[in-house]
Chains A and B, each alone.
Chain A
Amino acid sequence: MDFATIIQIADSALRLATPLLLACLAGLFSERAGIFDIGLEGKILASAFFSAAVAASTGSVWLGLIAGVASSLAFSGVHGVASITFQGNQLISGVALNFLASGITILIGTAWFSLGGRTPSLSGGQRFSPVDLPFADAVANVPVLGPIYSDLLSGHTILVYVALLMVPLSWFVLYRTRFGLRLRAVGENPAAVDTAGVSVIRLRYASMAIAGVLCGLAGVYLATGLAAGFVKEMSAGRGFIALAALIFARWRPWNALYATLLFGLLEAIANRYQNIDLGAFVLPVQFMQALPYILTVIILAGFGGTAVAPKAGGQPYVKER
């Protein structure tokens, strides 16, 4: 394997990690506030569809972005109403929203475009175009560092850089602001936050809104950056991989970056090589595809340190008993 191939695989890993990273941070905000969100998948899918559909119809990817984020926010809103206001089962709500997204995108898509659930292919201003970082051309010929800068880091769509910026931003919000402190507290001990006179409900809705926006961006990137249009079930389990990455990252922003990059890398390798010949035996492509899930189960099993979830996760907060 030569250097150019490594750069190509790393480049593809970064692209594939982007939606995972955005969704993973979405899950991070919601679970840190004590709300399980297995509906990440559905939100990505809904946002992917509405962003592609609106971009295709209006010709503007930015309108698509607004539509995608709005749809994801709407899903977050329903999840919030179910799990915060009506104190319902958060897992069931998430499952329901995943199905809702997978059904409704095809239902509306078929009626809208008559393409069997797809949207038309996006091109030109309907997609996000690559952004060249400054001096990318100038340094391209510098050995080793040149290709890393101009091929690997430069030339992605704006959403990739947004996703990467979200990591320090999330860290800052969660660990260096009052809002972040309260948000984390609400996921550990909501009663204490309530006693301090801070609204648990408002904080949890805020976390839902943040998760909605981030998941929305993940979907928008999927349909208008990574791919050129929406196809049936295009989220393809990414919401669940993001959830796996969240556990892998032990609910921390920087770890989320590393975990999603790792899972992106696994996907990139699985895409590029069908079966990997290790000499003694051959790793089938299906094993590579299952690896993120297997790794998560191993982490969950407590091998390699324990993964401790936010304490109040999954429990609706009842003010007075």
Chain B
Amino acid sequence: MDKMPKWADVALIPFLNLLIAFVLSGLVILAIGENPIKALQMMISGALGSSYGWGYTLYYATNFIFTGLAVSIAFKAAMFNIGGEGQAMIGGLGVALVCLYIPFPHWSVALLVAMAGGAIFGAAWAIIPAYLQARRGSHVVITTIMFNFIAASVLNYMLVNVLRVKGSMDPASGRFPETTHLPTLHDILAPLGISFSRAAPVNVSLFIALIACVVVYLLLWRSRLGYEIRAFGLSPDASVYAGISPFKIIMIAMILSGGLSGMMSINNTMGEAERLVLNSVEGAGFIGIAVALMGRNHPFGVLLAALLFGFLYQGGSELSLWTKIPRELVIVIQALVILFTGALDNMVRGPVERIFINYAKRRAG
């Protein structure tokens, strides 16, 4: 045996990476004079101790499922889409335009059209970097970073000069009409006799996100296109000989990626804020990177990682309410997770692999 078992690759190593990230975060908390164990307990009770906490955890997780899937699809095609943040911003613009200017009879119709609006706008924002990568060879990482900044300016312009309510100083659009308001989990569960916090923002978008996981799984592992995307991602040169067009794969993967990022806005813009605000994405596009790395680019892994980050986000904001630890703790944890699962993966993988190989040798010999 010259490899380690599969379970170690998909479960043990991510777990060890995560453990290191958490231990280091604990040390940071210790260093600023707080108790990490108490902090963890407070995060757990704040995020999972009530249906209100769960409501927020699941709300954040919904965002992260979309952006995590978006980053994963691009990763599968050997591209690093850092542009999720900008694509989600522009997606929010699409959702807002749909909700503000089309009169809808019912939220279900509004949801479908808004999904399309968000996805099309998000995808459009990914098309130019994709095209430049495919045809001009400009690195998609750099162009998507640039597009994040351009998106922020576009959004700023649209909110300040076009969508802002007359007479208001607040750079935000007007409220979306009543018929576009999405039912929350409270509304959905109440007829079933299950009580769920009325104040929590988790809404029907959660189910769309779960469906998206399944669809992405089917697309990547059960379809011809998915096969082509994965083949291209593993070996662009070899896939060309198999008749796969790099141009097509790069464009499609980035369009899907941007579309998923953009679709996130049905949750935060349509479901929660019910209007378009400047910082509606709140870094969710970037967290998608951590979620995708943590979830090993697999929809099921993405789901678990999104739940974990949803927990961290909600727990972190509870923590900042009751202790002197600011919300930004979550950004530190997120950074460490990206660092250890993404960049320093070999640091853990090397020794673990050696242990498994030695163990196997000893058993054989």
A: residues with CB less than 8 A from B are 36, 38, 78, 81-83, 86-93, 95-100, 102-104, 106-108, 110-111, 114, 116-117, 237, 240, 243-244, 247, 284, 286-287, 289-290, 293-294, 296-297, 300-302, 307, 309
Tell which of A36, A93, A102, A290 touches B331, judged by Cβ atoms closer than 8 Å.
Answer: A102
**Contact string, B328-365, partner A, CB cutoff 8 A, digits 1/0?**
11111111101100111111001000000000000000
Report B-chain residues with C-beta under 8 Å of the C-beta of A287.
153, 157
13 CB contacts below 8 A, A to B, read A86-B343, A88-B343, A88-B346, A91-B82, A92-B80, A93-B342, A99-B335, A104-B335, A240-B146, A243-B145, A293-B149, A301-B132, A302-B138
Contact call A290/B339, Cβ cutoff below 8 A: no
Closest 10 CB pairs of A and B: A103-B331, A93-B343, A99-B335, A111-B32, A92-B342, A103-B332, A290-B153, A100-B335, A300-B138, A88-B343
Q: Is the interface of A mostly helix, strand, loop or mixed?
A: helix
Report A-chain residues with C-beta under 8 Å of the C-beta of B286.
95, 99
Report B-chain residues with C-beta under 8 Å of the C-beta of A297.
128, 132, 138, 143, 146-147, 150
Query: B324 on the interface (CB 8 Å rule)?
Result: yes
Say whether, besides A82-B344, A96-B335, A286-B154, A300 and B326 are in contact (CB < 8 Å). no
Report B-chain residues with C-beta under 8 Å of the C-beta of A92.
80, 289, 293, 338-339, 342-343
Say whether, besides A86-B347, A93-B343, A286-B157, A107 and B328 are in contact (CB < 8 Å). yes
Contacts A38-B145, A89-B80, A91-B80 aside, 9 further interface pairs with beta carbons under 8 A come to A86-B346, A95-B289, A95-B342, A99-B331, A103-B330, A103-B334, A104-B335, A244-B142, A300-B132
Alpha-carbon distance between A294 and B143 when the two chains are bound, in angstroms: 9
B70 to chain A, nearest CB (A): 15
Contact call A96/B336, Cβ cutoff below 8 A: yes
Query: B28 on the interface (CB 8 Å rule)?
Result: yes
B236 to chain A, nearest CB (A): 14
B: residues with CB less than 8 A from A are 28, 31-33, 80, 82, 128, 132, 136, 138-139, 141-143, 145-147, 149-150, 152-154, 156-157, 160-161, 286, 289, 293, 324-326, 328-336, 338-339, 342-347, 350
- Among A93, A293, A302, the one with the most B-chain Cβ atoms within 10 Å of its Cβ is A293
Alpha-carbon distance between A106 and B327 when the two chains are bound, in angstroms: 9
Contact call A104/B332, Cβ cutoff below 8 A: yes
Contact call B328/A102, Cβ cutoff below 8 A: yes
Alpha-carbon distance between A307 and B137 when the two chains are bound, in angstroms: 10
Residue ID in chain A nearest B339 by CB atoms: A96
Alpha-carbon distance between A300 and B131 when the two chains are bound, in angstroms: 12
Report A-chain residues with C-beta under 8 Å of the C-beta of B145.
38, 240, 243
A84 to chain B, nearest CB (A): 11
Contact call A93/B32, Cβ cutoff below 8 A: no
